[in-house]
Chains A and B, each alone.
Chain A
């Protein structure tokens, strides 16, 4: 792939580490790989002989499958380890697990973990490249990239767009990656939701804070809705799902404040009727299905670029 910009990262740990040029290059590569996915023979030999390990300490069929398909389409050998099925992982410290995995000489380890920063710990103990597939409440860089890809496809640009992110900003690694990614690419990012779920210092990460939902989504080109988890009622961060749906849920009426052609996104899985009204989720304004199909292409691009493709 011809490109002026040289991709110079061994690991994909966070969008904070990537430059604007890096992100451009990833999105550009992903577009080319998307074309492969539409062919009848979907395999290319690019990563033949390479080993990719999916190391998932949290269940996530969607993200794991997406990485697995991406690796297979590039002819890499893939292995899956999950904390729930593998005795090699159960009860072992992460550092021990990493050392054991090195016996397989992996080229890439894709890791999902409930604790923030775990991918960084992994890089200190192994030689392979590490891709963060979601760590605690830190980041989910491949999800952020595919959201950027989806918006670019649907809106033709990212620069200058108004992107509103609504809901549990504090606990959402997707929100963190999106705030960093969209603001880095020149969008104006606003976050809104219950003040209990807006983390301190979020402005410095690249987002303005809207006091009300209306103020957050007014004139928005994109509204990203985050999943609200049941346990937030216990913490106590919100009074109830019912109150949340009434005050902060995104429905057709609320969306009238946004631009008429607003694009609605959700990293899934959706609590229909809580953070997002079914009418909106299934409407043409929703980009939820594109988000899934772009995932494989973005992950192919990441594997390709960290393995030295240029």
Chain B
């Protein structure tokens, strides 16, 4: 078939929170841009030689989803994931862009590593936005070279996985990053409290004889980070919040005018610590799964806008790191291919609207990172995610696109799936 340069997505439910759109219609993509919106019963343009048409009755058309917190493992741990395999997983999960954390080997604290990642990402199935480290080598001692990294293409800064314990360093990072308009993304954890903990502290950790991580370990650091952001007047983004009190700290800070944004991951609004039963290392991550109260509060935070973003914290690990004693198994789960059905379950449960889902997965991360996409407005980049909310599938290891299969959702029947992913007008994934 001859390549046709235009794409017409017909008869879908078009959802664009930026323009308050949620109605049936057609969407035309041309020259890598959103070229036409046909709403309110307006007829689609007639068929044309150079236009491919896709019928999408019953499907939902979103601005391309952006996962602002993933670990692509390249360079250094290519046996877990590569930029190639990770972006294929992203496309299969409905994502058109991902922001990759700097805890690679070596750490992304330089122009060299940033350029290496961007070079590898040129042909990738999703846009890759590197996040640079806050401190050199993420050692938590000296500031990394933000100016150099910004020039090379980083979109934000984080010492994810190795929380910044030194408050003075965090303060200076917030100040110095403002020269380059780079967002600080904080993995907030007071490690003297979490110590060698491997799961949430409470009845379940006591029952299993596993060392607990108190919720306060997260909340204390969030409070510090909010305090420093307010004091310096700089924005801060809090990564992967997991507790009820974290939600309320952020809610109150926003009310005071603190420039804070926050994300959570699908597992924190879906699972509790009970998922660890029988020492399931596939339910081990940091921060750990919490309790029912926390899950309810996270859902409430997503509903009322306290939480701005759903990001997966996609953290691939091989069987070697996971098939181990719970104490020594690696933290983290893959998330790119399950985010859509898990988020849709909030929509089905009337906790969030489809528009809010688009905000959480697309327009908010685009705005927070200052990157393209996030809207279906004419003239914007043609990054589009089409979801079939009724598609049922069993998430099985055989079908996982990511190189690693470490998910607590393996074997689960999930409802709703990305069926078409379009990056700059080109189809990167199709399962219609």
Residues of B within 8 Å of A184, CB to CB, are none
Residue-by-residue, is B201-240 near A (CB-CB < 8 Å gives 1, otherwise 0)?
1111111111110000000000000000000000000000
- Size of B's binding interface in residues, CB under 8 A: 21
Residues of A185-238 at the interface with B, using a CB-CB cut-off of 8 Å, are 199-202, 204-205
Name the segment of B68-76, B91-99, B321-329 touching the other chain: B321-329
Q: Is B38 an interface residue (CB 8 A)?
A: no
Distance A176 CA – B207 CA, assembled complex (angstroms): 8
B326 and A115 contacting across the interface, CB-CB below 8 Å:
yes
Chain B residue nearest in CB terms to A113? B325
Residues of B within 8 A of A118 (CB): 325
Pairwise interchain contact B209-A205, C-beta atoms closer than 8 A: no
A78 in contact (CB, < 8 A): no
Contact of B203 with A205 in the complex, beta carbons under 8 Å: yes
| B278 lies within 8 A of chain A by Cβ | yes
B279 contacts A by Cβ under 8 Å: yes
B208–A117 touching, CB < 8 Å: yes
Given contacts A93-B324, A113-B325, A117-B325, contact A138 B203 (CB under 8 A): no
Q: Is the CB of A201 within 8 A of B207?
A: yes
- Determine whether the beta carbon of A120 is less than 8 Å from that of B203: no
What is the bound-complex CA distance between A72 and B326, given in angstroms? 33
CB within 8 Å of B: which of A121-135? 121, 135
Q: How far is the CB of B243 from chain A (nearest CB, A)?
A: 15
Contact (A201, B203) CB under 8 Å given A115-B325, A116-B326: yes
Q: Which residue of A lies closest to B201 (CB)?
A: A200
Say which residue of B204, B323, B325 sits within 8 Å of A201 (CB atoms). Answer: B204
Complex Cα gap A137–B199 (Å): 14
Q: Across the interface, which residues of A come within 8 angstroms of B320, CB to CB? A: 93
Once the chains are docked, how many angstroms separate the CA of A40 from the CA of B323? Answer: 47
> Given the known A-B contacts A117-B279, A120-B278, A120-B279, are A205 and B325 also in contact in the complex, defined by CB atoms under 8 Å?
no
CB distance from A257 to the nearest CB of B (A): 27
Q: How far is the CA of A137 from the CA of B201 in the complex (A)?
A: 14
Please report the C-alpha to C-alpha distance between residue A113 and residue B327 in the assembled complex, in whole angstroms.
12
Cβ–Cβ < 8 Å partners of A115 in chain B = 325-328
Complex CA–CA separation, A138 to B326 (angstroms): 12
| A200:B279 contact, CB within 8 angstroms | no
Question: In chain A between 4 and 45, which residues have their CB closer than 8 angstroms to a CB of chain B?
Answer: 16
Contact with A along B311-348 (1 / 0, CB 8 A): 00000000010011111100000000000000000000
Chain B residue nearest to A203 in the complex (CB): B203
Question: How long is the Cα–Cα vector from A135 to B327 in the complex, in angstroms?
Answer: 12
**Per-position contact with A for B362-393: 1 when CB-CB < 8 Å, else 0?**
00000000000000000000000000000000
Query: Which of B207, B209, B210, B328 gathers most chain A CB within 10 Å?
Result: B209
CB distance from A24 to the nearest CB of B (A): 23
Candidate in A94, A116, A135 with the most chain B CB atoms within 10 angstroms = A116
Q: Note all chain B residues with C-beta closer than 8 A to A120.
A: 278-279
Shortest distance from the beta carbon of B417 to any chain A beta carbon, whole Å: 30
Tell me which residues across on chain B come within 8 A of A168, comparing CB atoms.
Answer: none
Using a CB-CB cutoff of 8 Å, which residues 383-428 of chain B contact chain A?
A: none
Which parts of B140-177 form the interface with A (CB within 8 Å)? none
A201 to B325, CA, bound (A): 23
Chain B residues with CB below 8 A from A113, complex form: 325
- Check: A173 CB closer than 8 A to any chain B CB: yes
A147 at the B interface (CB under 8 A): no
B209 with A201: CB separation less than 8 A: no
Question: Please, which residue of chain A has its CB at the minimum distance from the CB of B214?
Answer: A200
List of A residues within 8 angstroms of B211 by Cβ: 137
Q: Complex Cα distance A138/B205, Å?
A: 9
A104 within 8 A of B: no
A233 → B minimal CB distance (Å): 16
Alpha-carbon distance A202/B328, docked complex (angstroms): 24
Provide the bound-state CA to CA distance between A250 and B301, in Å: 50
A116 and B197 alpha carbons, distance in the complex (Å): 13
Query: What's the Cα separation between A205 and B207 when bound, in Å?
Result: 7
Q: How far is the CA of A173 from the CA of B209 in the complex (A)?
A: 8
Q: Report how far A205 CA is from B279 CA in the complex, Å.
A: 17
A243, B128: Cα distance in complex, Å: 58
* A243-290 CB contacts (< 8 Å) to partner B: none
The winner among B205, B211, B279 for most chain A CB atoms within 10 A is B279
Q: Is the CB of B279 within 8 A of A116?
A: yes
Contact (Cβ within 8 A) B206 A116:
no
Please indicate the chain A residues that have their CB under 8 angstroms from the CB of B327 in the complex: 115-117, 136
A115, A118, A202 interface centre (most CB from chain B within 10 Å): A115
Partner of B209, one of A93, A121, A136, A200: A136
Nearest B residue to A135 via CB reads B209
Cα separation A3 to B201 with both chains bound (whole Å): 41
In the complex, how many angstroms separate the beta carbon of A21 from the nearest chain B beta carbon?
A: 21
A68 at the interface (CB under 8 A from B): no
Residues of A within 8 A of B209 (CB): 116-117, 135-139, 173, 176
Bound: A16/B327 CA distance, A? 21
**A65 on the B face (CB < 8 A):** no
Q: Which residues of B contact A88 (CB under 8 A)?
A: none
Asked whether, in the complex, the Cβ of B210 is within 8 Å of the Cβ of A116, the reply is: yes
Q: Does A102 contact B (CB under 8 A)?
A: no
A residues 74-127 near B (Cβ < 8 Å) are 93-95, 113, 115-118, 120-121
* Interface contact B210-A117, CB-CB below 8 Å: yes
Residues of A within 8 Å of B278, CB to CB, are 117, 120
- Chain B: which residue is nearest A171 at the CB level? B209
What distance in Å separates the Cβ of B399 from its nearest Cβ neighbour in chain A?
22
Assuming the A-B contacts A120-B279, A200-B201, A200-B212, are A94 and B206 also in contact, with contact meaning beta carbons closer than 8 angstroms in the complex?
A: no
- The residue of chain B having its C-beta at the shortest distance from the C-beta of A123 within the complex is B278
A93-B323, A176-B209 known; 5 other A-B pairs, CB under 8 Å? A93-B324, A94-B325, A116-B327, A120-B278, A201-B205
Which residues of A are at the interface with B, using a C-beta cutoff of 8 A?
16, 93-95, 113, 115-118, 120-121, 135-139, 170, 173, 176, 199-202, 204-205
26 A-B pairs, CB-CB below 8 angstroms?
A: A93-B323, A95-B323, A113-B325, A115-B328, A116-B208, A117-B208, A117-B210, A117-B327, A118-B325, A136-B210, A137-B209, A138-B209, A138-B210, A139-B209, A173-B209, A176-B206, A176-B207, A200-B203, A200-B205, A200-B206, A201-B202, A201-B204, A201-B205, A201-B206, A202-B206, A205-B206
Q: A-B pairs with the 7 shortest C-beta distances?
A: A201-B203, A138-B209, A117-B279, A116-B209, A115-B325, A137-B209, A199-B206
